[in-house]
Amino acid sequence: MEEEVYANVSNLELEEIQDTSTKRTTPDQQPDDRTGGRRSRLAAVCLGLLCVLLLITIIVICVRNVKEKEAMDQTISSLSKNLTAERETLSSSIMTLTEERDQLKNSNKDLTEERDQLKNSNKNLTEERDQLKILTEQKKKDQQNHPKHTVNDLASWKKFGSSHYYISTEAKTWDKARQNCRERGADLVIINSKEEQEFIKRENKYVWIGLSDADEEGVWKWVDGSPLTTKYWNTGEPNDYAKAEDCAVFKDGKDTLETWNDLPCCYENLWICEATLPSS
């Protein structure tokens, strides 16, 4: 561009020289021609300066555009990175929330099952309470109708140590057997020693004894509320078969002294009562 400007200026100067040489032949016109030549040079110089200015302006605009483009690219790249990171965070959050939702679903299912079990337990407990009320009323009536045993009543009972024992001749459920013993002023037998275990074994009867875990599964207690300490469970017992065995029976015909088994309390068996006379 600058070369073109210089070329134009040179051409203009050449033309002026030619014009001057031509015009020298006309001396009257010399001052006007010089003035015109200066104006032309001035115009050319101004034009050149304008071109240079225009070129600089274009270069400045281009540089600024390039910088703006780079800044915009950086901004877009940064935004893209941020969006990617946010998308990954959101994906992770969604996964966590999904897992939590599934856990809550499972918890809700478990709680529903527990609630149903509790409802059933409550129903069973209500029924048991009602049965106990009936039994208590019955016991009061029986005690009124049946006086406590005397020494004479026990004459027909088997004696061992300080206790007397009655072995039934009919079969009843564990609860009814115990009720029968209490009506006789006794209770189902409590086996306190090895000697007492051996004594009952010699009778060789399949009988209910006063031991149960009906109140709390696996916690065996005698009918007087005392915990079980010395045990004579048969091999593999107590096994709470079908989760329904809460009353202890003394098995007959065993070679070993370990003769006890747990059975459903609703089974009907003979039973053995024990009456301990107060020491005189």
Residues that bind Ca ion (CB under 5 A): 190, 192, 213, 237, 239-241, 245-246, 261-262
CB 177 within 8 A of CB 205: no
Residue 102 is encoded by which pair of tokens?
A: 């599934």
* 214 C-beta neighbours (distance < 10 Å), count: 14
Least Cβ distance, residue 230 to Ca ion (angstroms): 11
Cα separation, 275 vs 52, whole angstroms = 132
Q: How far is the CB of 133 from Ca ion (least distance, A)?
A: 24
Q: Nearest 5 degrees, angle CA 56-CA 58-CA 63?
A: 95
Of 180 and 261, CB closest to Ca ion: 261
Gap between the Cα atoms of 252 and 256, Å rounded: 10
Nearer Cβ to Ca ion (99/195): 195
Alpha-carbon span 142 to 59, nearest angstrom = 121
Cα–Cα distance, 93 to 87 (Å, whole number): 10
The Cα–Cα gap between 66 and 208 comes to 103
Nearer to Ca ion, 44 or 272 (CB): 272
CB 125, min distance to Ca ion, A: 17
> Considering the complex, what minimum distance in angstroms separates the CB of residue 255 from Ca ion?
19
Q: Nearest to Ca ion by Cβ — which residue?
A: 240
Q: How far is the CB of 212 from Ca ion (least distance, A)?
A: 8
Amino acid at 29: Q
Comparing CB distances to Ca ion, the nearer of 40 and 276 is 276
| 16 versus 246: smaller Cβ distance to Ca ion | 246
